Structure 1
Amino acid sequence: MEAEKVGLSLRPTQLLLFGNPQAGTPLMVAEPTIALDLPLKVVAWEAADGKVWLGYNDVHYLQQRYLLSDELVKHIDVMAPLIHQALL
């Protein structure tokens, strides 16, 4: 693990990336700074008690942050359904 190479420890952690140029490009045309949040990301980590947690930026947060239209956002509104499906 990279943390160990520098003398640090890190509980099991994974970063998952979700990208699609057909969805992301129109968003970046409308608001170039959304590239800071694309591709979409989910971080999964194991807590000290052994529980696994997931974190991600909700699409509605991104919509408000970048003042995006509903039409643009619908193309990236996939995170919650994907996570829900994976947890079943």
Structure 2
Amino acid sequence: MKTILILLTMIFRHASADDSQHGRYISLYSFEQTVDRLKTVLKEKNIKVFCIIDHAGEATQAGLDLRPTRLFIIGNPKVGTALMQEDQETGIDLPLKVLVYSDKDGHTIVLYKKLLPIADARQLKNTHKVAATIDSSMNVLIKHVSQERP
């Protein structure tokens, strides 16, 4: 029994840590609709899309199967540069990343890697509030993309 409790504690700690690192939403829309909504909202908000990586398409070209998966690499240099000015190595974590994928149950998931845990780990003092604001804005954006019906 003690072993089971220890294992459960480890699992829940891992899940909590994972949740603190990412914003995760199950979309009300299909994969393609979610991708289209994300593109539209990013354009409306003047957030630059540096790249969209079609992981499933690349897997297919390699002769492998992967459920639909696209990685958006996005950002706003006017905002993100401040973080790198404080600690240039923050550039390894920027631009921001948003992953849209179909899970094994057929749900479309939108996952965002939060910036605040990165700012905490790098001990960013001057731009900590900037990272918190970015995370808050991204959570609102992703919720809008995945949850709101017109």
Fold in common (TM above 0.5): yes
Corresponding residue for residue 79 of structure 1: 138
Within the candidate set 14, 24, 27, 2:83 is matched to 27
Corresponding residue for residue 102 of structure 2: 46
Kindly state the Cα deviation for residue 75 of structure 1 after the two structures are TM-superposed: 5.3
Kindly state the Cα deviation for residue 26 of structure 1 after the two structures are TM-superposed: 1.3
Alpha-carbon distance between aligned partners in 1 of 2:116 and 2:133, rounded to the nearest angstrom: 12
Task: State the identity as a percent.
Answer: 35
Alpha-carbon distance between aligned partners in 2 of 1:74 and 1:6, rounded to the nearest angstrom: 39
Cα–Cα, structure 1 residues 75 and 22, in superposed 2: closer, same or farther, change >3 Å?
farther
Q: Which protein shows a greater Rg?
A: 2
RMSD: 1.7
Structure 2 segments unaligned to the other structure (5+ residues): 1-56
RCO higher in 1 or 2 (8 Å CA, sep ≥ 6)? 2
Alpha-carbon distance between aligned partners in 1 of 2:99 and 2:118, rounded to the nearest angstrom: 17
Length-normalised TM-score, structure 2: 0.52
Residue aligned with 2:84, SS = helix
Alpha-carbon distance between aligned partners in 1 of 2:95 and 2:68, rounded to the nearest angstrom: 22
Length-normalised TM-score, structure 1: 0.83
Letter in 2 for 1:38: L
Corresponding residue for residue 119 of structure 2: 63
Letter in 2 for 1:76: I
Count of residue pairs brought into register by the alignment: 88
Asked whether the 8 Å contact 2:70–2:101 carries over to 1, the reply is: yes
